[in-house]
Structures are given as C-alpha cells and as structure tokens.
C-alpha cells in the first residue's frame, strides 16, 4: 500500500467508524458489489480521502482487473472489502458480499469470512509471511481456522497437497521450510496456496507480481489462473501494469485519484478507451510489440494530492482536451454506448466515443530532435569490456570460516559501446547486470578481464588520471530519491561532480543552470531541495548531475523503473533527445524489455553472469536465437488483449539456480525449454560443453542449438 495511512492519534480496538450509505436494503445478486465507497484517513495535515465514491461489482467466476497508478486508491478499496483497513479509517457507502453487507460487521464476524469466502494475495511475499513459522504450518493454520474439526495431521497433508497444486517441487520437504528459505516466486506460490486453501468464492490479488521478475510473473499469473479454474472463484486483480490485465481479465476498471474513471471489458477499454487518462496511459507505455518504431507520448504532470483536491475533474490539469466545465464539475461515470457496463468519467466522452475527437491525436506526439541540432559524432568505441569477471567467495561456518564456493556474479562479460549509441543490458534480478556496471564504474583493475574507456585500459591509470577520467563516465541511478542526498539543495547536488574537479564556484553555478535548462527544469528552482520535486523531476535532476561534466558515456542503471508508468515516457524521451543533441553513449541497464527496446541500438541479454545473446536490438527482439531470450520475450505481457490472447507463452521452469550451484556445461540447461526437446547427443553436448558465443543470423549467441530455436513455437507479438 503506497498510501500513507499514518495517524499518531489512531485508536485501534474500535472498529472503523462506519456511516451507512444512503442505500436502501437493495438486494444484490452479484457475488461482490461495492456501492459508492468512500474511505477517508484523518491525518495531522488534514483528512485524506483515498477512495471517493467507487462502485463496482464482480460476478461469480468473473475476472475483474483494477488498474491504477500509485495513490489511485486501488489497494485501499480492496482492503476495505476485506475489512483490513486501519481502524481510524472512515468508511461510507456499502459493500455487499453474496447479498449481505460487510460494513459495520465486527472484526470477529469478518474473520469468519476472511479466508473462507474472500481471500487476498498481497504484493510483497517476503514480508507477508510470518518469518518464524514454516510454510506448511502457515497453510495448515489457514485450513484449521475455518475447520476446527480438522486434525493437525490432516491439515498438514492438505497443505502439502496445496503446495503441489501451486507447483512447488518436493512439497513434503518444502512444507517444512521457513519463508526465508523460499525464493520470491515460491513465496508468492505459497501465498496463493494459503489464499485458495478454503476454496473461497472471491480471490483478491493485490499487485501479486509487482515484486517479481518477468519470467516468474508469467509463472505466477499462470498459477493464479489455474487456482481460479480449480476453485471456480472470482478474481479481482489489482495492478499498475496494463499488460498484466490485458491477457487475464474479463472486465477492467481504471482508477484515478480515488475514483473509477473508466470501466468496460478489456477489449472495450484497450481498443476504444474513452477517458483521456486511459488513452494517455496506453499511449505512454512502451509496448514490446510497437516499441522502437514510434516515439512515446508522455502524459505530463502528476496525479493530484488527495489531501487537497481542487473541485472539478482531478485529471483536468493533465488533460490535453480540457474544457472550462472540467474545472468546475467532476464528471460522473457515463455509459458510453450500448453496453451499460462500459462507461467513462469524462465530460467529452461522447465526442471521444463517436470519433469527433480522434483518440490517436488526443496527445501531441513529441517532435524528434531537429537534424540541425543533432551532434555529429565519429563512430568510435568509447567503452570496451573484455572478459570481465567478478567472483565473490561464499563462506560458511561460524567459528572457522571456510570458503565453500564462489558466486560468479559476473563471469566473463564482453561488450563494446560506440559513440552516440545505446547498449541495453537486460536480464532478470540476480543475473549480474548491476554488478557489471558497478565494476566498470569503479575504474579500477577488475579481478579478471579488461575495461577500456576511450581506448585507455583503466587498470593502468594513476589516481590523478582516474579522477580526470571520471569526468567522461557518469551514472544515473534507479531511484532518484535514493540517489540524491536529501540534505543538499539541487544546485549543490548537481554541482558536486564539478567540485571534485576543482571548478570555481561561479562557473559551477552557471553550468548548473545550463544543464538544468537542458533537462527541462526551471533553473530558478536550483535552490530547492529534492523532496520538493516530483518523481520524474527528481530523475531529471539525476540526469542533470550526470551531464554536468560533459561526459561521453552515461551509465543508466534502471533509470525509469522506479517511476510511475505515466511519467516514464517523458524521461525516456528526454534521454533520447539528449543523446541526439550531445552525442552521448548510453549503457542502459534494465529489466523492462519494452523500455530497452524503445531506447537501445544494441542489446545484450544476461543470464547468471554471462551474456547469452547480443546484437542489434531489431534482431534480438524480432528474431531471438537463444532459448532464454525467447522465453524472456514471451513472458513480457503486452498491453493489448488481442495480442495477448493469440500468444503462447514459453514458461521457464523453476527459479534462478542458487549461485553456489555448480552447473556443468551450459548454465541455462536446468531451465532450458529447448534442452528438453533435444535428442540424447544434443543434451549430452549441453551437459558437458560450455557454449561459447558465436554468430548466428544477426546476433551473437551462446547456445549449442541456436539453429534449432524454431522448435520452440511461441507466438511473438
């Protein structure tokens, strides 16, 4: 939950104060019906209304997606259904489950329903499981809570069965394990096992895959679908990722600033969005199917503060087609066409639906940098990495430490980066991509291999030369809030690299103003502190700091993954423009393949410390030659229901192997879908020989059987 629910004056035993809504005892024939739900949190700085009049329903066996950015109220409304909001929350309206109102019930009454009628899956599976009890105990607890007669042994047996259902190997043994011994994906599977333990009629999944890697996300969504089919339960999936709902949900509700602003079937919402916010959100998302061909359309501005809402449509300040009336009246949800379930909250919904206002032209497409402004650069290699290694010793034993193995975080990585180009380094967490860039940024002799910048081997640098070289290579981090010292004003932050190089104060100030202007920030804001800026602006400050020394190379370590989707587009466009204007070279590290495709010229895919495939972005995305690349691409959800329905996914089995495991031959073979299809000699080759990178078609691939990749028939976007 991103909403701030803190109130020091909270008293907690009393049940949330409830004001029954104006609804008459109007029986509902839906499984769950939420009517005009309002949730307000009293706070020292004024009450925050996180949910402002939300109504929706879910029928038996239905799959409803609720989409919204952080702070849109999507999680709060589902916690209200579960009766799990903090006791100081003021709730009004009505929530009916199987025709009976849930509001005003005591905690005890609600606890009988929770887990049995409605269950919920939370976002972060690490903190959502009690660290001191075994997984099996936590599942059988859920069983025994609702079936007092169930014996302990029977509950344990059923828990093992449930673990098997959600696809955990060795369920008997794993039931005895503690949560910290499980990987993120396995924990989320265990959470699903808990949720389906009592065959609930409704499962609420609150961002169930947000903390997970894309291949694990695909697995979890599969398990969720399976759980739904098995129990016949209805599912409410809450997410910020339009791609995740596109392939799974039947109906969709889009939330903005505490309200539902558009609802309909997935096809209606994705293909004919009628609220400008939905239109903008869909246009601003990098889409794996279309990325790289068109410029992203940024959705400028940021969501309003819920503590202090101006009258009128909350989206009005960001809306490109805003009219005077929008600023005074908040539009209600209006039915768009024939279908009474398809509606949007916009005063101009009729114009948009009828095509009077063209959806595709609603937002101006930003112009690319004019040719005259483009920097001309000679194509030369600015960064050359050859055979880079970084191994960490893994020690065990408490009295006498002994080394029991090595973690090969980076295990012979080679690539080069040329002037004015972008190299995208992709991989899931734990693949070593961040360690690789941190090793490069140290500018010292690596454990093995060579790093050269501008043709100069960094191992041979003197301390003075190293300091001078730091001007040439700068870095932008993932989370702008974490990478900017909160105690310093922006001008000092941006000028910090200059102070290192002894630039006089007056010149520093001038340069700071110039770069702030360059990244699209008002130089007059230089004396403010980072917290006064929005997320997107903060990342611009981070970029300005990286550019202040006029570097040739900028290392971008997941520069947009901490930002809300609607803000990402603006930062990506800025990076592209700056590259063209200044002739920068980017080393772009990311896990989001759509973003990488949008910005990269070349791509290198990493798995367990190695680059498994590299080559021009076009070749990698259109025609992947390595089974891992192929699986990775097929796991990325595409925000288009038609595409999603026609795709088949290549699901990777299991998790990333533990770094201590010594895998002979190809280190991907334990999860490789192609390996399974190979004949005995082919398998033998994978088991015994470490595949070396070789050119196949347009890319360089480390796979013995790249030519037979066609065996993996997967529907690509």
Partner 1 sequence: MIGFIAKRFINYAILSAIATLSAYVLASIILNPAARYLGRNPRPSDATINSILDGLGVNPNTPWVERLWAWIVRLVTEGSLGDTIHNTSVISEIAARAGTSLRLLILGTVIAAIVGVTLGVWGAVRQYRFSDQAISVASFTILATPAFVLGILLMIVATLLNNFLGVQLISFTGEYTPGLDGGWWVQFGDRAGHLLLPTISLALMGAAGYSRYQRSAMLDVLAADYIRTARSKGRTRGSALVRHGVRVALIPMSTYFAYSFATVLAGAAVTELVFSWHGMGELLVQSISQSDINAFTGAILFNAILILIAGTLADVVYAALDPRVRV
Partner 2 sequence: MSMLDEMPAPDATAVITDVVHSAKPVSRLRLVMARLRSTPRFWVGIIGLGAIILWAIFGLVPNAWNYTDLDIYNMGSSPSRLHWFGTSDIGEDIYAQTIVGLRKSLIIGLLVGPLAAIVAGVVGAVAGYLGGWWDRVIVWVIDLLLVLPSLFLFILLSPIFKQLSWVALIFLLAGFGWMIMARVIRAQTRSLRERDFIKAARFMGVDTWTIIRRHVLPNVSSLLIIDATLGVGAAILSETTLSFFGFGIQAPDVSLGTLLAAGQSAAATRPWLFIFPAAILVFTVLSASLVGDALRDAVDPTSGVNRD
Q: Which residues would be at the binding site for partner 2 (CB under 8 A)? A: 2-10, 12, 43-45, 48, 70-71, 86-87, 305-308, 438, 441, 466-467, 470, 474-475, 477-479, 481-488, 496-497, 499-501, 529, 531-533, 535, 545
Beta-strand pair 334-335/259-265: unpaired
Q: Is 98 in the site for partner 1 (CB under 8 A)?
A: no
Q: Is 130 in the site for partner 1 (CB under 8 A)?
A: yes
Cα distance between residue 267 and residue 429, in whole Å: 33
Cα distance between residue 313 and residue 321, in whole Å: 12
- Cα 472 to its chain centre, rounded Å, is 31
CB of 650 to partner 2, least distance (A): 34
Q: Is 180 in the site for partner 1 (CB under 8 A)?
A: yes
How many residues are there in the chain? 717
In the list 48, 51, 91, 142, the residue contacting partner 1 (rule: CB under 8 A) is 142
Half-sphere exposure for 203 (CA within 13 Å, toward CB): 32
Cα distance between residue 28 and residue 373, in whole Å: 63
User: Which span (118-126, 163-171, 214-222, 673-681) binds partner 1, by CB under 8 A?
Assistant: 118-126
CB of 672 to partner 2, least distance (A): 34
Nearer to partner 2, 488 or 677 (CB): 488
Collapsing DSSP to helix, strand or coil, 86 comes out as: coil
CB of 233 to partner 2, least distance (A): 27
Cα distance between residue 283 and residue 294, in whole Å: 10
CB of 259 to partner 1, least distance (A): 25
Nearer to partner 1, 84 or 325 (CB): 84
The option from partner 1, partner 2, none interacting with 475 (CB < 5 to 8 A, set by class) reads: partner 2
Nearer to partner 2, 552 or 705 (CB): 552
Which one, of 412, 388, 433, 382, lies nearest residue 604 by Cα? Answer: 433
Nearer to partner 2, 137 or 438 (CB): 438
Most distant CA pair in the chain: distance in Å? 81
The option from partner 1, partner 2, none interacting with 233 (CB < 5 to 8 A, set by class) reads: none
**Sequence-ordered strand ranges (E) for 530-590:** 553-557, 585-590
Cα distance between residue 452 and residue 12, in whole Å: 60
Which one, of 346, 356, 272, 358, lies nearest residue 315 by Cα? Answer: 346
Nearer to partner 2, 354 or 499 (CB): 499
In the list 116, 351, 479, 496, the residue contacting partner 1 (rule: CB under 8 A) is 116
Angle at CA of residue 440, ends 435 and 444, nearest 5°:
115
- Three-class SS of 618-663: HHHHHCCCCHHHHHHHHHCCCCCHHHHHHCCCCCCCCCCCCCCCCC
Query: Measured between alpha carbons, how far is residue 658 from residues 174, 464, 699 in Å?
Result: 16, 40, 28
Q: Is 44 in the site for partner 1 (CB under 8 A)?
A: no
Residues β-bridged to residue 614:
604, 700
Q: Write the burial class of residue 670 (CB in 10 Å: 0-12 exposed, 13-18 middle, 19+ buried).
A: middle
In the list 25, 132, 464, 524, the residue contacting partner 1 (rule: CB under 8 A) is 132
Nearer to partner 1, 10 or 47 (CB): 10
Nearer to partner 1, 112 or 466 (CB): 112
Q: Is 100 in the site for partner 1 (CB under 8 A)?
A: no
Cα distance between residue 336 and residue 330, in whole Å: 17
Helix (H) or strand (E) holding 543: helix 535-547
Nearer to partner 1, 139 or 383 (CB): 139
The option from partner 2, partner 1, none interacting with 142 (CB < 5 to 8 A, set by class) reads: partner 1
The option from partner 2, partner 1, none interacting with 128 (CB < 5 to 8 A, set by class) reads: partner 1
How many CB atoms are located within 10 Å of the residue 587 CB? 26
In the list 145, 165, 309, 448, the residue contacting partner 1 (rule: CB under 8 A) is 145
Nearer to partner 1, 112 or 645 (CB): 112
Q: Is 108 in the site for partner 1 (CB under 8 A)?
A: yes
CB of 173 to partner 1, least distance (A): 15
Residues 413/606, Cβ–Cβ less than 8 Å: yes
Residues 490/541, Cβ–Cβ less than 8 Å: yes
The option from partner 2, partner 1, none interacting with 398 (CB < 5 to 8 A, set by class) reads: partner 1
The option from partner 1, partner 2, none interacting with 676 (CB < 5 to 8 A, set by class) reads: none
Nearer to partner 1, 2 or 419 (CB): 2
The option from partner 2, partner 1, none interacting with 122 (CB < 5 to 8 A, set by class) reads: partner 1
Nearer to partner 1, 204 or 426 (CB): 204
Collapsing DSSP to helix, strand or coil, 673 comes out as: helix
**Sequence-ordered strand ranges (E) for 88-229:** 90-97, 100-101, 118-121, 202-206
Nearer to partner 2, 380 or 442 (CB): 442
The option from partner 1, partner 2, none interacting with 479 (CB < 5 to 8 A, set by class) reads: partner 2
Interface size with partner 1, residues (CB under 8 A):
41
The option from partner 1, partner 2, none interacting with 152 (CB < 5 to 8 A, set by class) reads: none
The option from partner 1, partner 2, none interacting with 305 (CB < 5 to 8 A, set by class) reads: partner 2
Nearer to partner 1, 199 or 499 (CB): 199
Residues 6+ apart with CB under 8 A from 319: 276, 277, 313, 326
Which one, of 179, 190, 192, 175, lies nearest residue 130 by Cα? Answer: 179
The site string for partner 1 over 353-392 (x = CB under 8 A, - otherwise) reads: ----------------------------------------
Q: Is 107 in the site for partner 1 (CB under 8 A)?
A: yes
Query: Measured between alpha carbons, how far is residue 332 from residues 71, 261, 314 in Å?
Result: 20, 8, 12
Cα distance between residue 206 and residue 3, in whole Å: 14
The site string for partner 1 over 430-469 (x = CB under 8 A, - otherwise) reads: ----------------------------------------
Half-sphere exposure for 266 (CA within 13 Å, toward CB): 24
CB of 102 to partner 1, least distance (A): 14
CB of 256 to partner 2, least distance (A): 15
Residues 598/581, Cβ–Cβ less than 8 Å: no
Residues β-bridged to residue 395:
403
Nearer to partner 1, 84 or 468 (CB): 84
Nearer to partner 1, 327 or 396 (CB): 396
- The position carrying tokens 């809450």 is 238
Sites of contact with partner 1 (CB under 8 A):
8-13, 82, 84, 107-108, 111-116, 119-120, 122, 124, 127-133, 141-142, 145-146, 178, 180, 191, 194, 197-198, 396-399
């Amino acid at each position: 939950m991103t909403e701030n629910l803190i109130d020091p004056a909270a008293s907690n035993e009393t049940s949330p104060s409830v004001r029954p809504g104006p609804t008459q005892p109007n029986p509902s024939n839906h499984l769950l019906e939420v009517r005009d739900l309002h949730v307000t949190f009293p706070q020292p700085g004024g009450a925050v209304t996180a949910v402002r009049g939300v109504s929706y329903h879910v029928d038996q066996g239905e799959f409803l997606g609720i989409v919204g950015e952080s702070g849109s109220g999507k999680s709060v409304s589902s916690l209200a259904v579960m009766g799990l909001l903090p006791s100081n929350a003021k709730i009004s309206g009505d929530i009916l489950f199987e025709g009976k109102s849930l509001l005003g019930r005591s905690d005890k009454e609600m606890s009988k329903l929770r887990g049995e009628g409605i269950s919920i899956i939370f976002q972060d599976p690490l903190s959502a499981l009690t660290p001191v009890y075994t997984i099996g105990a936590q599942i059988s607890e859920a069983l025994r809570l609702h079936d007092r007669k169930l014996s302990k042994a029977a509950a344990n047996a059923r828990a093992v069965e449930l673990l098997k259902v959600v696809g955990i190997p060795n369920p008997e043994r794993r039931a005895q394990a503690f949560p910290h011994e499980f990987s993120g994906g396995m924990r989320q599977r265990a959470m699903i096992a808990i949720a389906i333990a009592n065959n609930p009629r409704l499962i609420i999944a609150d961002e169930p895959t947000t903390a997970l890697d894309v291949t694990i996300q695909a697995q979890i969504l599969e398990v969720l679908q399976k759980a739904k089919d098995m129990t016949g339960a209805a599912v409410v999936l809450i997410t910020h990722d339009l791609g995740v709902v596109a392939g799974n949900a039947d109906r969709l509700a889009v939330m903005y600033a505490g309200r539902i602003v558009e609802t309909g079937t997935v096809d209606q919402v994705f293909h004919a969005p009628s609220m400008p916010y939905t239109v903008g959100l869909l246009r601003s998302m990098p889409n794996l199917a279309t990325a790289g061909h068109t410029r992203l359309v940024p959705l400028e501005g940021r969501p309003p503060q819920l503590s202090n809402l101006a009258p009128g449509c909350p989206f009005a300040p960001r809306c490109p087609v805003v009219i005077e009336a929008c600023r005074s009246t908040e539009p209600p949800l209006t039915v768009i066409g024939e279908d009474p379930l398809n509606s949007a909250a916009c005063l101009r919904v009729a114009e948009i639906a009828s095509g009077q206002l063209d959806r595709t032209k609603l937002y101006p497409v930003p112009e690319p940098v004019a040719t005259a402004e483009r920097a001309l650069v000679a194509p030369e290699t600015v960064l050359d990495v050859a055979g880079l290694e970084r191994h960490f010793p893994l020690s065990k034993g408490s009295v006498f430490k002994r080394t029991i193995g090595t973690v090969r975080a980076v295990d012979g990585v080679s690539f080069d980066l040329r002037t004015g180009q972008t190299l995208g380094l992709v991989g899931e967490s734990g693949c070593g991509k961040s360690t690789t860039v941190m090793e490069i940024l140290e500018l010292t002799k690596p454990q093995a291999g060579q790093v050269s910048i501008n043709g100069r081997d960094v191992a041979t640098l003197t301390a003075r030369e190293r300091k001078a070289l730091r001007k040439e290579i700068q870095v932008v981090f993932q989370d702008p809030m974490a990478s900017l010292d909160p105690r310093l004003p922006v001008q000092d932050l941006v000028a910090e690299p200059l102070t290192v190089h002894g630039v006089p104060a007056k010149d520093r100030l001038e340069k700071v103003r110039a770069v702030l202007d360059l990244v699209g920030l008002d130089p007059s804001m230089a004396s403010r502190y980072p917290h006064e800026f929005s997320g997107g602006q903060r990342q611009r400050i981070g970029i300005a700091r990286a550019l202040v020394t006029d570097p040739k190379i900028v290392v971008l370590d997941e520069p947009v993954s901490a930002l809300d989707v609607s803000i990402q587009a603006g930062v990506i466009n800025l990076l592209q423009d700056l590259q063209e204007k200044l002739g920068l070279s980017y080393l772009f590290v990311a896990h989001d393949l759509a973003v990488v495709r949008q910005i990269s010229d070349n791509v290198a895919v990493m798995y367990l410390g190695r680059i498994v495939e590299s080559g021009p972005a076009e070749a990698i995305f259109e025609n992947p030659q390595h089974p891992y690349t192929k699986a990775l691409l097929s796991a990325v959800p595409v925000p288009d229901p038609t595409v999603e329905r026609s795709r088949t996914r290549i699901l990777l089995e299991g998790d990333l192997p533990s770094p201590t495991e010594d895998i002979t031959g190809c280190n991907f073979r334990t999860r490789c879908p192609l390996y399974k299809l190979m004949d005995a000699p082919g398998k033998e080759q994978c088991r015994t020989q470490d595949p070396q990178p070789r050119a196949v078609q347009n890319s360089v691939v480390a796979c013995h059987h790249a030519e037979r990749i066609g065996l993996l028939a997967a529907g690509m976007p």
